[in-house]
Amino acid sequence: MSKYYLLIILFILHSMWVYAGADAYHIPPDFSIYNVQYKVQLNDGKWADKIPINMHVTPYILISKEGSISGFAGCNKFVGAIDLNTKTHKFKVDSLVSTKRACKDNTFQALEVEFLKSLNEVVRYDILVDQLTLKDNNGYPILIFSGIKLPNK
């Protein structure tokens, strides 16, 4: 009977050791927050399901190691500075500027305005494999992205 209990205890300890190594922010060695095109999947539930079928490019972001963020907001490209800390998961966008192309219709315009507004509200991020979640100061997810690793240049 004591061997049985010993095996159970060893199994539990092993499981705890394996689980403790599974960081909630796990990023595979070949995947990083940098050099990844993150396409928006959810914007606080406000419009992800309302992205028009005729929208040719889904809004996305790219983050560089040099401290910049760029991407496409729905009608226009944008670029700005980013304060990013990979240890504390701080994420703060600053000085966003964008091109001034006219949107095809009011729906695209509304999506773009909401997307850029949401980016400016982000204060931290979480990343799990290829999903990037941007959160507000209450820890509430406001933007969720799916990542596609770009080829190294």
* pLDDT tens digits along 43-90: 555 555 555 555 566 889 999 989 999 999 988 999 999 999 988 999
- Residue of 15 and 8 predicted with greater confidence: 8
- Which letter, b or e, does each residue of 71-84 get, where b requires 16 or more Cβ atoms within 10 Å of its Cβ? bbbbbbebebebeb
- Count Cβ atoms below 10 Å from residue 9 Cβ, excluding itself: 10
pLDDT at 20: 40
Query: How far is Cα of residue 88 from the mean position of the Cα atoms in its chain?
Result: 15
Cβ burial of 35 (10 Å; 0-12, 13-18, 19+) is: middle
Q: Residue 135's closest CA among 126, 127, 147?
A: 126
Report the C-alpha dihedral over residues 66, 69, 72, 75, rounded to 10 degrees: -120
**Residue 87's CB: how many other CB atoms inside 10 A?**
5
Least confident residue range of 14-18, 57-61, 123-127: 14-18
What tokens does 150 get?
A: 């770009």
Predicted structure pTM score? 0.73
Mean pLDDT of 108-124: 90
CATH value of 25-149 in 3.40.190.10, 3.40.50.2300, 2.40.128.270, 3.30.70.260: 2.40.128.270
Higher pLDDT, 116 or 46: 116
For residue 9, the SS3 value is: helix
